[in-house]
Amino acid sequence: MDIIDAIILGIIQGLTEFLPVSSSGHLELGKFILGDDSIPQESLIFTVVLHFATALSTIVVFRKDVRDILKGLFQFKWNKETIFSLKIIVSMIPAVFIGLFFEEQLEQLFGENIQLVGFMLMITALLLFLADRAKDTSKNVTYGNAFIIGISQAVAMLPGISRSGATISSSVLLGIDKTKAARFSFLMVVPLIFGSICKEVASGNITFESQQFTPLAIGFIAAFISGLLACTWMIKLVKSSKLTYFAIYCLIVGTIAIVYSFYYS
């Protein structure tokens, strides 16, 4: 992998991790249009590094929240930080369940099936459209809400369903304040990312060669910086009810994908 490839992949990872357009869906569309051989194949270690970069950018954006949560947890008391952490754990249950028991079935859906991607992008568009028109409330995230939002996160494992779009939309449709919805959506994925990284490291499948250092470093920086920008931007978009623009984008791309699959596949 050369430097340009590393920069491009890093920026894509950083942006699509937070913007509601589905990174997995766009990757599948790219594979179909350009062909597998035309896209630089990410090594496992490169994937891990990029995910670590976006997780780190989330922590930086929400550094005050993370600091308060850790400070509250180390008090070893039943406080609001402990309660929030438990809600995060509850939200992780559906995705962990799917990842442990249906990993092979899920991987079979990632095979340039652009018709599936198209339909899932349209579902993402619908969710974003509805979320933008939901009434603002001051509700907090409950344990029941956390589990439902977690189901949305698990469903977002499908190519074409945006994780941030699905979780934020579900939160807003449940009546949760938009700022709190974005905060919970971004913080809930951090433990999953680190858990996935630990799983890959423990598997022993990750190999590192000295010539990989430069593209890995460049990719990390690109993903981290673009992740910071996308995360901050997304929070503002949710608060100002401007998700409809992304809904239109997903609708257009989804429609093109479906039409293309019928006439040119």
Q: What is the pLDDT of residue 27?
A: 64
- In tens, the pLDDT along 133-142 reads 887 777 889 9
Q: Number of folded domains in the chain?
A: 1
Domain that holds residue 117: 3-264
Beta bridge partners of 176: 139
Residues 153, 151: Cα–Cα separation, whole Å: 5
Q: Which two tokens stand for residue 146?
A: 């956390």
The CB-based long-range contact list for 97-103 (8 Å cut-off, 24+ gap) reads 97/154, 98/154, 98/157, 99/157, 99/196
The most confident of the ranges 12-21, 40-49, 201-210, 218-227 is 218-227
Q: Which two tokens stand for residue 231?
A: 């995360």
Q: What is the pLDDT of residue 201?
A: 74
Residues 27, 159: Cα–Cα separation, whole Å: 9
User: Is the Cβ–Cβ distance between 22 and 161 less than 8 Å?
Assistant: yes
pLDDT reading at 208 higher than 90 = no
